[in-house]
Amino acid sequence: MPNCTFDWLDACRARCLDDLLDLYDAKASFRCACEGLYQGRDELTRYWSTRLERAVPHAFSLADLAHDDYGVNPGISPSRGG
């Protein structure tokens, strides 16, 4: 797995929003299966701040790595803890 994957998981586990957002390009977009498309840093901030605040203690566990229609789905569950 690329180092950025571990950096992403570390930022999520530490609930460090700035570190997490720094891993995304300024024009990045993120599609949430339950809530739709988030585009740009402001929308990603809105999405991730809520997820990090509500995450259970053992959230952001890498459960599975699979391909889906959008690329790679790491099988991470931010709200239930994986």
Residues 23-81 have pLDDT tens digits of: 999 999 989 888 899 999 999 999 999 999 999 888 887 665 566 676 655 555 555 44
* pTM higher than 0.85: no
Residue 16 lies in a domain: yes
Full residue range of the structural domain in which residue 48 is found? 3-73
Q: How many domains does the chain have?
A: 1
DSSP letter string over 2-40?
-HHHHHHHHHHHTT-HHHHHHTS-TT-EEEETTTEEEEH
Residue 79 lies in a domain: no
pLDDT at 1: 47
- For the stretch 49-74, what's the b/e string if a residue is b when 16 or more beta carbons lie within 10 angstroms of its beta carbon? eebbeebeeebbeeeeeeeeeeeeeb
Residue 43 lies in a domain: yes
> What is the domain-level CATH number for residue 34?
3.10.450.50
Residue 81 lies in a domain: no
Residue 13 lies in a domain: yes
Give the separation between CA 4 and CA 13, rounded to whole angstroms. 14
